[in-house]
Each structure stands twice: as structure tokens, then as C-alpha cells.
Structure 1
Amino acid sequence: MSILSENIRYLRGQLNLSQQALADSLKLTRGRYAKYEDGANEPPIEVLIGMSKYFKISLDLLLTVDLAKYPIDRILTLADNRIILPITVDAKGENKIEIIPQKASMGYLNGYSDPEYIENLQSLSLPFLRNGKYRAFPTEGDSMPPYNDGTYVVGKYVENIADLKKGKTYIFITRNEGITYKRFQKTSSESISVIPDNDFYEPYDIPKSQILEIWEYACSINTEELGGSGLDMNSIKDMFISLKKEINELKRVNGLEKLGK
């Protein structure tokens, strides 16, 4: 609990409070509070919740982040005690957009709530993206043409599933798939339905319990030149899509013939 001890001592200092004044606000004796600040005792959950409400800082932050390293006005507090931090800015005051490396799905799953992991990511600034928190994710596979490997999709953080818009594309961070980029269709009590833009793939549902983060498409950055083998690959994809449609049509015709007999 050393991080908590350092944090409550730091926050008390920022508010210019004595131990007695803070203990009174938390309905504790000064001696009991002092043991929490010294790290001699661990506070029970009800006291932790009281501290979180008093300082207006999530339990996640209080227990896991050295707040002295990150000014409060540069910490973004999200729903359900989730945090994204730090909110860094460049010399012009533009919000930096962290870049998740290619082939790093599992790394992001392990580090998405770790401030040191986020802080060490490369970043960029786009002056036309303001009023929100943005992050750049790599795309993989062929389920969302025209985005191929080497493309980064920049997403704006979505706090609530209820804010999803039908037909819009989103980056979904899930426990089982990692980073996936799909078009939102609808939501139910237990899951959301998404669909790839490539007709070769079927729509499917993502359980809400598996969703860690959602980022709405803001723009894309292509790091590889179009043309050459990329066009050949697109032709191959089109061929498979056409073949799939023909197979489905044959199945439909055969089914009608069987019914006719």
C-alpha cells in the first residue's frame, strides 16, 4: 500500500490540510489516519471509498499510480474507475496521440491501464483532432477494406456503449480478440453486433463483458504505398468474395429444386 500512502500524503499537501482536518472529514481519528499515511496499516474498503470520494479521484488512480508524477489536470478519469494517462501535450499545446505498435495486440491488453506503458509509447499530434482523447491503432487482416496491414486507424475514446452509432466504424479492445476494427450494427442487453466491411466475413456478436475499450473512427494513416502487389491482393480478395457469392447462390438454387421435387 506504499503508493496509496504516498498519494494521500501528496493530496493532503496539495489541499493544504492537516492530518487532523483530513481525518475529521473522513470520520477517522487522527492516529488511525496517520497509520494509513505512514503505511503502517492498510485501510479497509469503506475507508478507501471514502478517500476516493473525498479527493474525487478513482480507486484505480489512488492505488496504482504515483500521482505526484502526473499533475491532476493532465489525468483523464474515465467511467467505471478506468483511467487513461498521462494526457501529454506537445510544445504547441496539442494533445498527443499515442501510437500502438504493429503486432502489439497482447502488449496493449496487458498495458492499456498501465501509465508507464502508455507514457513510453510513441506519439503524434494532429491539430484537427481536439475535444477528446485519441489513440492510433494498427489494422491487420482483410476484414475492413481498404485498410491493409500498415494502416493506422486513429480513434476517439467512447465512454459509453449507448453512444455507439449504427453504421459507424469503431476499434474494439476485447479480452478475447485484442484489437479489432469493425462496423457497429446494434446492441442488446448482453452483447453488441458488429459486421466487417469485407463481405467474405460474417457479422458476429461481442459480449459486453469482453469489451475493455471502444474508440470511434476519427481518421486513418497509411504507412505503405498503394499499388503493385497491394492491387494484386485486392484482386484476389475480390475473386474470393465473388466465389463465395456464387456458392451461396448455388446452395439457394439447389434448395429450391429440392423443394420443387
Structure 2
Amino acid sequence: MSLFSDNIRYLRAERKISQEKLAESLGITRGRYVKYEDGTSEAPYEILKSISYFYHISIDLLLSVDVRKVPMDELLKLEDNRLLLPITVDKYGESFIEVVPHKAKAGYLTGYADPEFIESLQHISLPFLGSGKFRGFPVEGDSMPPHEDGSIIVGRYVENLGGVVDGKTYIFITKDEGIVYKRLNKNKKNVLMVESDNSFYPPYEVKASDILEIWEYKCNIGLSDRKQEVSETESVKEMFLELKREINELKNR
């Protein structure tokens, strides 16, 4: 038996549906379906997708989480049966924000689909953010000033690539690089060009197929009150503007 077998048997029992009726809904024979439920055969992708749509639950959860332990009424349901995100609320009904600390950053790639992992994260509440699903991620390095190492970036969950906008900053959860916070430079078909605000770091491409999650920047939680220094680029820009003003003054004399 497998976790998937246990899950589909449990879900069918909860719905009080016979194996024959479910198989008919999936467009397969009862004999074929029974093999998936008793674990003697693995379901191909198309069947997984059909079962996912039938129960309105993501394939991630069907394969990797014991759904008997998941409070289904407390999950955020996204379009197209994408990953279901656990939601916890305070006594006033405001959504809590899960914060991924530095020590849990490495584990997020394997735990982002696990409600128990998400539940174990620290929670904060920021009612001024309004509606949406929010999560906090740690910042490392100096690639995105003025956000410093140790700061937390709070992002709003973006449901699809069509929701991203050039010029805005996002937390990208990718298979290869994990958690990265970058500015979107150019949104191409199936590829995103991202860049750091620190010009020392070159821009690079991220394949859409490599992206697990996208969170749009909403606010920053940091400890430093250091005055932001004027960048070299801004200094040069100011120098040229001043020179232009002086030239115009000479022309008007």
C-alpha cells in the first residue's frame, strides 16, 4: 500500500462513492481503478490529474501528504487544482503570516507542500496588508538594497505567471536556487529575466518550469535604521543634471 492509495480510498469513502461510480467518472474500468486503490498499480499522470480535479485537491497532496491529517476546510483553494496552502487565522478572522526563518530556509523546498511543515513555522499578523495569502521569507546578502542580510520580506502569493509585472520585485521559489528575491526585468514566454538592484550582480533567466512559487513583495521587516547611501549610479546622474543646469544658465545669459 502507498500514501496515494490510502488517500484515494479515504477520499472516496468520505464522499460515499462506489468504486464503480468513481471509475466511470474517470473514464476507466472499475478493475483498473481498484489496482490504484489497493496499490498494485501506479496511476499514470492523466489519471492523477483526473483524480485531482475530481476531489479538488492538488496532486502534491495526493502523493506526499496523509490527507486524513489535513484540515481540508482550512486550506486555500487555488485555481486549476494547484498546490493547496494551509491558512491559519487569529480570533478576529485575520490570516496569520507564516515566517520562514533562516534555519528553515533549506527545508522549505521539500516542505512547502506539507501542511505540517507550514503549520510548524512562526506566525505573525499584519492586518494592514489586506486580503490575500502572505508569507515571510529571509533575505541573504547585499543584492537587493536597502534590504539587508537578516531582513524578512513579506510577499503575497501569486497564482500564475500572468499575475507578475515587469519592474516589481518578487520572491521566487525555484527548484535550482531555492528562495531568491529579485526584480522582474522582462517577462518572456516561459522564461523570466530577473535582476538584482545591486548592479554588481548580473541579471539572469529563470525558466517557468523551474518555478515552484512566486510571492509579490508587500513589505519588509528589518532591524537596521542605517541611512541608505546614494549609489554610484545616482551620483553620476546628479552630476550630469547639475552640468545640464549650468549649461542652460550659460545659454540664457
Match of 1:256 in 2: none
Secondary structure (helix, strand or coil) at the match of 1:83 reads coil
- In the TM superposition, what whole-angstrom CA distance separates every residue of 1:46-82 from its partner, at most 9, and x where no partner exists? 5434423322323222222222222333223446764
CA distance in 2, matches of 1:34, 1:55: 17
Amino acid paired to 1:137:
F
Match of 2:161 in 1: 161
Match of 1:83 in 2: 83
Contact 1:4 1:62 in 2 (8 A): yes
Are 1:122 and 2:112 counterparts? no
CA distance in 2, matches of 1:50, 1:201: 44
- Residues 184-203 of structure 1: pairs in structure 2 closer than 5 A: 184-203=184-203
Shift of 1:20: 4.3
Using the TM superposition, name which of 112-121 and 77-86 deviates more: 77-86
Match of 2:232 in 1: 242
Match of 1:51 in 2: 51
Match of 1:42 in 2: 41
Unaligned runs of 5+ in 1: 247-261
Contact 1:82 1:113 in 2 (8 A): no
Secondary structure (helix, strand or coil) at the match of 2:153 reads strand
- Residues 61-76 of structure 1: pairs in structure 2 closer than 5 A: 61-76=61-76
Shift of 1:43: 4.6
Match of 1:252 in 2: none
Match of 1:150 in 2: 150
Contact 1:137 1:154 in 2 (8 A): yes
Unaligned runs of 5+ in 2: 237-253
Contact 1:95 1:130 in 2 (8 A): no
Shift of 1:23: 4.1
- In the TM superposition, what whole-angstrom CA distance separates every residue of 1:182-228 from its partner, at most 9, and x where no partner exists? 22221223522223223444433333333222110111112x2424x
Shift of 1:90: 2.5
Match of 1:258 in 2: none
CA distance in 1, matches of 2:92, 2:61: 28
Secondary structure (helix, strand or coil) at the match of 1:106 reads coil
CA distance in 1, matches of 2:232, 2:29: 74
Q: Which runs of 4+ in 1 moved over 6 A?
A: none
- In the TM superposition, what whole-angstrom CA distance separates every residue of 1:113-164 from its partner, at most 9, and x where no partner exists? 2333222111112223343211101112222222112321110111222221
**Change over 3 Å in CA distance of 1:32–1:154 after alignment to 2:** same
Amino acid paired to 2:109:
L
Amino acid paired to 1:226:
D
Secondary structure (helix, strand or coil) at the match of 1:62 reads helix
Are 1:181 and 2:181 counterparts? yes
Shift of 1:28: 5.4
Secondary structure (helix, strand or coil) at the match of 1:209 reads helix
* TM-score normalised over the length of structure 2: 0.77
Amino acid paired to 2:232:
S
CA distance in 2, matches of 1:47, 1:198: 47
Contact 1:60 1:81 in 2 (8 A): no
- In the TM superposition, what whole-angstrom CA distance separates every residue of 1:168-187 from its partner, at most 9, and x where no partner exists? 11111223332222222212
Secondary structure (helix, strand or coil) at the match of 1:93 reads coil
Secondary structure (helix, strand or coil) at the match of 2:136 reads strand
**Change over 3 Å in CA distance of 1:25–1:177 after alignment to 2:** closer
- In the TM superposition, what whole-angstrom CA distance separates every residue of 1:60-116 from its partner, at most 9, and x where no partner exists? 222222222223332234467641432222232222211111254432223222333
* TM-score normalised over the length of structure 1: 0.75
Contact 1:167 1:185 in 2 (8 A): yes
